Amino acid sequence: MNSNTKNFMDTEAVESLIDVMAGKIWTLLNERGISDPLTVGIRTGGVWLAELLHQELGLKEPLGTLDISFYRDDFTRIGMNPEVHPSDLPIPVDDRHIVLVDDVLHTGRTIRAALNEIFDYGRPSSIILATLVDRPGRELPIQPDVVGLHPVLEPDQHITLIGPDPLGLVIGTNTNRSSRNLEQE
Amino acid sequence: MSRSNAELQLDEAGRLLHFLTIDGLGKEMLTEILDTAEGFTGVSERTIKKVPLCRGKVVANLFFETSTRTRTTFELAAKRLSADVLNLNISASATSKGETLLDTLRNLEAMHVDMFVVRHASTGAAHFIAQHADRGVGVINAGDGRHAHPTQAMLDMFTIRRHKREFVGLRVAIVGDILHSRVARSQILALNSLGVSEVRVVAPRTLLPADARSLGVHVYHDMDEGIRDVDVIIMLRLQKERMKGALLPSEHEYFSLFGLTERRLALADSEAIVMHPGPINRGVEMDSQVADGSKSVILQQVSYGIAIRMAVISMVIGTQNLRMQDVAV
């Protein structure tokens, strides 16, 4: 994809959003009486965030990671992702409460794929969705429980988390929408 | 050969269209196959051992030569990708009634098969099918004559990488019937392409091709010398029918000269692993103690075979899908 990107938020600003998210997750877990959730990050940005949230919340269960490449709905259009990694859910998900973390919630297709993948590991008790950014453009009925930021964006703009060190948010404009696009936000 | 193999197997963007031979693919593509297989390893350990990637696709296993392990792992791999699988044991069906290979192919295409996995006793059979298959139909070589068995070679590379991490710096010995082995040929190409330090072949003169050195290997006729200090020992299966010809004196003598025993294994690196494509002739290629010992990774090779086959099936189907869209546009 050809695009012009500009910095939108620096590390410090992103980290303060993560603090806010941690607080909201903490409140939600307390409201629901959940004490030991399994935190699962979606590759790649979601894993960076999940690591930070996991630390900040002092959760004792190990962190899980999902690579949703095998569950994408656009495999027939774009072929195999050449950079796939194994998913790793280190403990059984049956009857487990899960905090699912991703960087940008856009169309909702990534989350649809992630939910399908999680259910191939077992039947969780509940799933809370936490995303750093909730942007307009939903194509599926999927809503987050915890959000760091709701930016106002044009349809042809995309927002991306860069990192992992330092973290930052950048905004770009698509100049070629038909190109092979591996960002399925 | 290399160039035409690259043209047949890769599309303009370098993606895998067919998987027929290691020749012409290059280190980058071999590494991509290994990395993709890595992504599939966890699937076998889950509650639901399936991913939806190839849902609605039909994979036909076209086996003109019998094989249990290869056919079963291809079938399992396709099913774990959610594809439907047709198993055709051709030696027992159409060809015995006089149908040609092309007729068989056209009939299956009329049933909207998306992929052929081909095992054939003749060199070039899978290439032939790939050249004649419809656009959008991928072909994987599951062994052709003495020529190639690329998925076996890739599962062996995957096993080596899992145990040794890097290919650079490794010394690998391939022991046994190199002359008749499509597995050895594919392994040698893959090992050299991935950059191991030294590939050795260890065999009696009667079981080595005349041009062995031109394959980029060091040739040994003495087993003790051949496996000294190596990191990986790959034992090949000795086909019993070779005994009937004049190529070998007896199983007993072969074992005494080239069989892998605990004593010989001690000559290799202390961290060496022992591999075998199966099925093992115990007491011919190796002692049971070695086959079942701590350095043997033979059963892991079988498990990894499923991940490798899932990788190549999904990569080929993915690329063929793209090709069909080009037609649609």
For the cut 70, the answer to whether the pLDDT of residue B188 exceeds it is yes
Q: Do B36 and A80 touch (CB under 8 A)?
A: yes
Residue B35 contacts A where some CB pair is shorter than 8 Å: yes
Residue A95 contacts B where some CB pair is shorter than 8 Å: no
Low-confidence stretches of chain A (pLDDT < 50) are 1-2, 177-185
**B33–chain A nearest CA distance, Å:** 9
Q: How far apart are alpha carbons A150 and A148 in whole angstroms? A: 7
ipTM of the complex: 0.82
Nearest to B318 among A80, A120, A122 (CB): A80
Q: Do B42 and A87 touch (CB under 8 A)?
A: yes
Residue B94: predicted pLDDT? 55
Please check whether the two domains, B2-148+303-328 and B150-301, share a CATH topology: yes
For the cut 60, the answer to whether the pLDDT of residue B311 exceeds it is yes
Question: B242-262 in b/e burial notation, b at 16+ Cβ within 10 A?
Answer: beeeebbeebeebbeebbbee
**A140–chain B nearest CA distance, Å:** 19
Question: A36-53 in b/e burial notation, b at 16+ Cβ within 10 A?
Answer: ebbbbbbbebbbbbbbbb
| Angle of CA points B228, B229, B232, to nearest 5° | 100
* Contact map slice: B 8-27 vs A, CB within 8 A: 15
Residue A79 contacts B where some CB pair is shorter than 8 Å: yes
In three-state secondary structure terms, B217 is: coil
Q: Which residues of B touch A117 (CB under 8 A)?
A: 51
Residues B6-13 have a mean pLDDT of 93
What tens digit of pLDDT does each residue of B196-252 get?
999 999 999 989 988 888 889 999 999 999 999 999 999 999 877 666 666 777 888
Residue B92: predicted pLDDT? 57
Residue B291: predicted pLDDT? 95
Q: Do A120 and B35 touch (CB under 8 A)?
A: no
CA contacts within 13 A on the Cβ side of B58: 12
Residue B82 contacts A where some CB pair is shorter than 8 Å: no
Q: Where are the domains of chain A?
A: 10-69+92-152
What tens digit of pLDDT does each residue of B116-135 get?
999 999 999 999 999 999 99
Topology (CATH level 3) of domain B2-148+303-328: Rossmann fold (3.40.50)
State the angle between helix axes of B69-80 and B298-328 in degrees (0 to 180), rounded to the nearest 10: 50
Q: Which residues of B touch A87 (CB under 8 A)?
A: 42
Q: What does the DSSP 8-state code read for residue A131?
A: E
For the cut 90, the answer to whether the pLDDT of residue B160 exceeds it is yes
Confidence grade of residue B150 (pLDDT, cut at 50, 70, 90): very high
What percent of chain B is modeled with pLDDT above 90?
75
Helices (H), B81-149: 101-110, 125-132
Could you tell me which CATH number the domain at B150-301 has?
3.40.50.1370
CATH of A10-69+92-152, one of 3.90.25.10, 3.30.450.20, 3.40.50.2020, 3.90.550.10: 3.40.50.2020
Q: Do B50 and A75 touch (CB under 8 A)?
A: no
Residue B97: predicted pLDDT? 63
What tens digit of pLDDT does each residue of B247-306 get?
777 888 889 999 999 999 999 999 999 999 988 999 999 999 999 999 999 999 999 999
Q: Cβ neighbours of residue B224 under 8 Å, at least 6 residues apart?
A: B264, B267
Nearest to B39 among A69, A120, A122 (CB): A69
Q: Which residues of B touch A74 (CB under 8 A)?
A: none
Confidence grade of residue B67 (pLDDT, cut at 50, 70, 90): confident
Residue B218 in contact with residue B201, Cβ under 8 Å?
yes
Q: Which residues of A touch B48 (CB under 8 A)?
A: 119-121
Residue B314 contacts A where some CB pair is shorter than 8 Å: yes
Nearest to B39 among A78, A84, A117 (CB): A84
Q: How far apart are alpha carbons B274 and B294 in whole angstroms? A: 9
Q: Where are the domains of chain B?
A: 2-148+303-328, 150-301
**Omega cis (within 30) before A166:** yes
Helices (H), chain A: 11-32, 45-57, 75-78, 109-121
Which own/partner contact pairs does B69-74 have at CB distance under 8 Å and 24+ positions apart?
B69/B278, B69/B279, B69/B302, B69/B305, B70/B119, B70/B142, B70/B143, B70/B151, B70/B152, B70/B305, B71/B119, B71/B142, B73/B302, B73/B305, B73/B306, B73/B309, B74/B117, B74/B140, B74/B142, B74/B151, B74/B309, B74/B313
Residue A180: predicted pLDDT? 40
Residue B6: predicted pLDDT? 87
